[in-house]
Amino acid sequence: MSYDYCPTGCVLHNTMAPGRKVWHLFCFLVSKS
């Protein structure tokens, strides 16, 4: 997936979070809703 769909805060979180794939999916779904 691309970070393009995620808010900036989510992208920044992804750079630090071990569960970034899960968090990114969450951001992706939120951005789509």
Question: What pLDDT was estimated at residue 19?
Answer: 64
Six-digit token string for 3? 């970070």
Amino acid at 13: H
Question: What pLDDT was estimated at residue 32?
Answer: 72
2 or 27: which leads in pLDDT? 27
| Interval 7-23: pLDDT, tens | 655 655 555 556 666 77
Question: What pLDDT was estimated at residue 16?
Answer: 56
Instruction: Quote the CA–CA distance of 10 and 26 in Å, as a whole number.
Output: 9
Q: Which residues, in sequence order, are CB contacts of 25 under 8 Å at separation 6+?
A: 1
Question: What pLDDT was estimated at residue 28?
Answer: 73
- pLDDT score of 3 more than 50: no
Question: What pLDDT was estimated at residue 13?
Answer: 54
